Amino acid sequence: MFETFGPAITAREIWRFTRDNAWAAITSKDNNDSLNRANMWKRLADAIDVPVTGNIENNRYLTVRHRAEELLADLDTVRNRQKYANQRIRIFVTTHKNVSTFNSAIMQPVQVGLHNGSYRFPWAFHDDEGENISNRNPRYCELTTQYWAWKNIDADYYGFCHYRRYFDFSETVHEENAFGEIMDDYISVKTAKEYGLDDDNIARVVRQYDVITTPFGDLDEIINKYGSPRALWEAAPLLHDDDLKRCYQILCNMYPDYKKDAQDFFNGNKACFCNMFIMKKEIFFDYCEWMFPILEEFDKNTDYSTYSKEALRTPGHLSERLLNIYLMHHKRIGSNWKFKELQCVHFTNPEPAEQLKPLDVTDKPIIPVVFAADDNYVPQLTTTVYSAMKNADPRYFYDITVLQRNIAWDKQERLRGFFKQFPNMNLRFTNVDRELAGYELSTNNAHISVETYYRFLIQKLLPFYDKVLYLDSDIIINGDIAKLYNIDLQGKMLGAIRDIDFLANLNVKHGKRMGYAQTVLKMKNPYDYFQAGVLVLNTKAMREHYTIKQWLTYASNPDFIYNDQDVLNAHCEGNVLYLPWEWNVVHDCGGRVGNLFVQAPNDIYDAYMKSRNDPQIVHYAGFQKPWTDPDCDFASMYWKYARETPFYERLLKRVVKANESEIPAGVLRPKHERAVGEDNPIRKIVDPLMPIGSRRRDAVKAIGRAVRGRH
């Protein structure tokens, strides 16, 4: 088949067998046979080396392969369910959506909120299996998990938490917020270690106690200092006061010996929250037999027809109070249970890292292009991407990915709408915050932002591409980037253009750059130093040589001047294809062409100067930018594209701001011949508002030059 159809088609069909058998293994009860077949086909598929061509067959192959790998990853978590049944300590994690989980056989996810047509997570239990009250989930919330565990699971200890809230099993007291919670970002190996969320430690702690809860917080100090559980309920705008009274009455009628405990609780100032607990089996069963009848009585006598979505969850809110009353009662009557309070850690981003997927494009070869930007840089990003698409070859499809951490959703939507004019492109944004967590990344240059490090993540975030074009967001693209992408890298790790600025600095008399390149970067030939704003990346080779952790660790070196660029030069030397100069023409920032670049090696200088005549990409590298100085080198080329984007006015605003901040107060401007005569009536309006020589008048004139393209 390989000899007849070639590698892409052959590998695609083998991955198709892998995919289908993996799905069969997930959906069948006896999945060993399907699993063995899936693994067999995967081994065959892995043995085929599919060159990255960007053609239609290659794209189809990548689509099938990616789905197969997704299902194989799901199979790993499905197998965890088999380990769950062997645990005598079982802490159930209630979730209604796809979330990250800890590597634990004790903490076991349970999917709730299921209805007809719901996708059933293969890695979780489901609260509608066996004897259940799953249909009450809109009212009972996490209690449907508790009921399901009570009726269907055998264990020595039963525990409950939520997809974003877990117990802190460590011995460290962590800082809490005003609601008594530890706040953290991501579920990860790092946070598992920090909060003692490994099975050995969890089991060690749990076996020492009969009941574990979150801390009984003082309501005079936390949760807006309402003082008592009763006052806290009454202050909740979406809960009904009468519901609390009715539940109290039901409790007193059904269990009169709990009346004192209920009164003490509601009028006191202590409470534990989140409906999180771990109990020995006999205690848990007794609690369920006590609590669920109370809620059932409340439920059948309540008309929910006019309740808001939050008020509909009243039984769940009531159970949180009932748990407190139950525990207070057993403390009062001397049940002699061993109690433990553990802090609650709240993860703000429990969702798994977004997985980018290959495009389902089969009629055109795909050119993958990556940019990096933050919310403040959106106007510049838009201008750069727009210039690329205005000059793009329509025979190709451009998959444009923006790596970011804080670009506002409305701006993302605005960009998607704007670029719909190009049917041969796809624009997507992916948040890289999780990937960079734990690294101390900073830059040693004021005009370089941390977004510069995002390029190191490309090899991981786009695993279905073995070749990717990376471009900075402070460039203008005059040529067709498909030509740049299609350059044969000849097996090298990346393609780049030499950095004339760095090379010229190497030749500065008594300069320090040569010593820096040799001793800090340890380059054998410093004249091979390249500029990293335009890169053709062989991501397959990069994965084979370095991990993301290695790249980001290297980048954390405080001795580097141009952090990410220096890292690439230090670790890719000898593995670089040098591209034509016209694909990264740095502009004349601060007059460095005449003052510095002339000191570069003769052939380098001549090649750079020639590239200025027909630049395919102009790079506004350095402190001087068209949106701060509309008279800078190649600025007219930038504004040609910028004025056609939806963020043009924002760029003009930055011109005004830059001009205002750079003109010292009290400085007189040289007088020029006036463009508007003394007798012109416009002068009577303009002069009082913008006096001649004022910063306001100079700023407006700068905008006028930008609008007219006069630079």
The whole-number pLDDT of residue 23 equals 84
**Dist CA 192 CA 190 (whole Å):** 5
Q: Which pLDDT band holds residue 409 (cuts at 50, 70, 90)?
A: confident
Q: Quick check: 260 pLDDT over 90?
A: yes
Report the pLDDT value the prediction gives residue 617, as an integer from 0 to 100: 98
> Could you tell me the pLDDT band of residue 703, with boundaries at 50, 70 and 90?
low
Give residue 92's pLDDT.
98
Residue 705, pLDDT above cutoff 70: no
Least confident window among 64-78, 105-119, 331-345, 574-588: 64-78
Q: Does residue 550 have a pLDDT over 80?
A: yes
* CA 426/CA 59 separation, integer angstroms: 14
Return the bridge partners of 586, or none: 619
Q: Spell out the domain ranges in the chain.
A: 2-84, 89-349, 366-624, 639-708
CA distances from 363 to 359, 421, 522 (A): 11, 19, 46
pLDDT at 52 over 90: no
Q: Which pLDDT tens digit goes with each residue over 658-686?
A: 776 554 444 333 333 333 333 444 444 34
- Rounded CA gap, 441 and 552, in Å? 8
Containing H/E element for 414?
Answer: helix 409-418
CA dihedral 578, 580, 585, 588 (to 10 degrees): 80
Query: Taking the complete model, does pTM exceed 0.75, yes or no?
Result: no
Say how far apart CA 122 and CA 429 lie, in whole Å.
Answer: 28
Give residue 676's pLDDT: 38
pLDDT at 665: 45
Arithmetic mean of pLDDT, 415-426: 95
Q: What percentage of the chain has pLDDT greater than the value 70?
A: 88
* Rounded distance between C-alpha atoms, residue 676 and residue 694, angstroms: 16
Mean pLDDT computed over 405-427:
93
* Span 690-699, pLDDT tens digits: 444 445 555 5
Q: What is the predicted pLDDT for the residue at 170? A: 97
Task: Say which range, 239-253, 351-365, 437-451, 614-628, has the weakest mean pLDDT.
Answer: 437-451
Is 80 exceeded by the pLDDT of residue 14? Answer: yes
Picking from 247, 327, 321, the residue whose alpha carbon sits closest to that of residue 286 is 327
Q: How confident is the model at residue 574 (pLDDT cuts 50, 70, 90)?
A: very high
Residue 24 pLDDT greater than 60, yes or no: yes
Mean pLDDT of the 153-174 span: 97
User: With bands split at pLDDT 50, 70 and 90, how would you rate the model's confidence at 164?
Assistant: very high
Averaged confidence pLDDT in the chain: 87
Assess whether pLDDT exceeds 50 at residue 389. Answer: yes
Q: Among 72-81, 147-156, 166-175, name the one with the lowest average pLDDT.
A: 72-81
Q: What's the pLDDT at 73?
A: 73
List, for residues 261-282, the tens digit of each pLDDT value: 999 999 999 999 999 999 999 9
pLDDT at 710: 42
pLDDT in tens, 165-178: 999 999 999 999 98
Yes or no: say if 609 and 517 are a contact pair by the CB < 8 Å rule.
no
pLDDT at 406: 85
**Whether residue 472 has pLDDT greater than 90:** yes
Name which CATH class applies to 366-624: alpha beta
Please give the average per-residue pLDDT across 286-304, as a whole number: 97
On whether the CB atoms of residues 549 and 188 are closer than 8 A, the answer is no
For residues 698 and 245, the model is more confident at 245
pLDDT band per the 50, 70, 90 thresholds, residue 31 = low
Residue 318 has pLDDT above 60, yes or no: yes
Classify residue 457 by its DSSP letter.
G
Q: Quickly list DSSP for 12-70.
A: HHHHHHHHHHHHHHHHSSS-HHHHHHHHHHHHHHHTS------SHHHHHHHHHHHHHHH
- Which strands, in side-by-side order, build the sheet including 425-431? 425-431, 397-404, 366-372, 468-471, 530-537, 494-498, 576-578
Q: How far is CA 261 from CA 217, 319, 333, in A?
A: 17, 15, 10
- What pLDDT does 363 receive? 85
pLDDT band at 488 (very low <50, low <70, confident <90, very high): very high
Q: What is the pLDDT of residues 103-118, one digit of tens each?
A: 899 999 999 999 877 7
List own/partner pairs for 518-523 with CB under 8 A and 24 or more apart: 520/559, 520/560, 520/566, 521/560, 521/566, 521/569, 521/570, 522/570, 523/569, 523/570, 523/573
Region of poorest pLDDT, from 5-19, 178-192, 433-447: 433-447
The owner of tokens 């909060």 is 195
pLDDT at position 441: 58
In order of 138, 240, 308, 315, 360, the CA distances from 312 in angstroms are: 7, 10, 6, 8, 42
Q: What is the pLDDT of residue 561?
A: 82
What is the phi-psi region of residue 337: left when phi exceeds 0, alpha when psi lies from -120 to 50, beta otherwise?
beta
The predicted structure's pLDDT at residue 699: 55
Helix (H, G, I), strand (E, B) or coil at 552: helix
Amino acid type, 43:
R
Q: Which residues contact 282 (CB under 8 A, 6 or more apart)?
A: none
Q: What is the pLDDT of residue 54?
A: 62
* Mean pLDDT comparison of 387-396, 551-560, 658-667, 694-703, highest-scoring range: 387-396
DSSP 145-200: HHHHHHHH---SEEEEEESSEEE--SSS-----TTS-EEEEE-SHHHHHHTT-SHH
61 — phi, psi (to 5°)?
-60, -45
Residue 61: closest CA among 108, 5, 118:
5
As beta bridge partners, residue 218 has: 270
Closest by CA to 52, choosing from 552, 471, 583, 542, is 542
Rounded mean pLDDT, 603-618: 97
Q: Residue holding tokens 């209920």? A: 262
pLDDT band at 80 (very low <50, low <70, confident <90, very high): low
In percent, the amount of the chain with pLDDT more than 90 equals 65
Least confident of 118-122, 451-455, 700-704: 700-704
